[in-house]
Structure formats: structure tokens, C-alpha cells
């Protein structure tokens, strides 16, 4: 009986550790994504973060596929400052991760217009060959 309990506790502990590791990995990927888009405008980083089937929804209603997102993000003429990502919730189930976060910062358009950003974002991640890839994203503007 004691051996069965020991095995059960080891299994639960191992599962919990794996779950926590995946939660951290997905959280880190969400932050990497925002850095690649808003700070670095890094097309190579985006190539590595996005699934081929990604569906990326902006707060204004525009939806982009992978190619559109990489081109538009890397050629965006706006500058972003004070970008912060606050992770509110991460759920991982097997090879799927859901992230809810709040992104705040300042966008300065090419014409000098300054726009405060406060976006509530939902992201869906999938694990492909041991790497987390963004499958979907939808942002909404917050007051």
C-alpha cells in the first residue's frame, strides 16, 4: 500500500512540475511575441514564434495571417515606448496553451500622434515539435 502511495505522489509531483514548466514557457513566449512586434520589430523572431496557420486579431478588427503579420509588424513605422505585458492567466492542457494578458504602453505614429495603449489580449499557443507557436490572438481596447 505504501509503495502505491509513493508512486502516486511521485506521479502527481512530476505532473505538477511539467505543468508549471509549460506555464512558464508559454508566459515567456507571450512576452517574446510582444517584444518582437512592439520593440524590436523582428521578423526572424516572429518566424520562430508563429504557427503557419496563425490568426492574429487586432483591437480595431483587422485580422492578419502569418505573412501579413510578419511584414506589417517588421515594417511598422510607429514607435512604442513603456510596453509592459501583465500576464493575468495561463492555462496549459497537453499541447495547447491559453494566455490572457494586459498590454500597456504608448504608440507614437509616424505623423507624431501619440496614442496610449491598453489592450486586453487572448492568445492561443500550440506545441509543435517541442516549441510553442502562436495559433491565435485577439486584442480588445480597454478604457
Q: Say if CB 91 and CB 97 are below 8 A apart.
A: yes
Instruction: Name the residue among 136, 108, 143 with its Cα closest to residue 122.
Output: 136
pTM: 0.85
Q: How many domains does the chain have?
A: 1
Q: What is the DSSP string of 72-97?
A: HHHT---EEEEEEEEEEEEEEETTEE
- Residue 142 CA to its chain's centroid (Å): 18
Q: Render each residue's pLDDT in the chain as its tens digit; 143 residues.
A: 566 554 545 555 544 445 589 999 999 999 999 999 999 999 999 999 999 999 999 999 999 999 999 999 999 999 999 999 999 999 999 999 999 999 999 999 999 999 999 999 999 999 999 999 999 999 999 98
Domain with 121, as residue range(s), is: 2-141
Cross-strand bridge partners of residue 37 = none
Instruction: Tell me the CATH number at 120.
Output: 3.10.450.50
Residue with cell 504557427: 51
Amino acid at each position: 500500500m505504501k509503495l502505491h502511495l509513493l508512486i502516486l505522489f511521485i506521479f502527481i509531483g512530476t505532473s505538477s512540475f511539467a505543468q508549471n514548466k509549460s506555464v512558464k514557457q508559454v508566459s515567456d513566449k507571450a512576452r517574446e511575441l510582444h517584444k518582437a512586434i512592439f520593440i524590436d520589430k523582428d521578423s526572424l523572431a516572429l518566424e520562430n514564434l508563429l504557427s503557419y496557420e496563425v490568426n492574429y486579431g487586432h483591437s480595431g478588427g483587422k485580422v492578419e495571417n502569418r505573412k501579413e503579420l510578419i511584414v506589417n509588424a517588421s515594417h511598422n513605422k510607429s514607435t512604442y515606448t513603456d510596453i509592459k505585458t501583465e500576464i493575468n492567466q495561463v492555462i496549459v492542457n497537453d499541447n495547447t496553451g491559453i494566455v490572457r494578458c494586459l498590454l500597456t504602453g504608448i504608440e507614437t505614429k509616424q505623423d507624431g500622434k501619440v496614442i496610449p495603449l491598453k489592450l486586453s489580449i487572448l492568445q492561443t499557443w500550440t506545441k509543435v515539435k517541442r516549441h510553442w507557436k502562436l495559433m491565435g490572438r485577439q486584442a480588445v481596447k480597454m478604457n
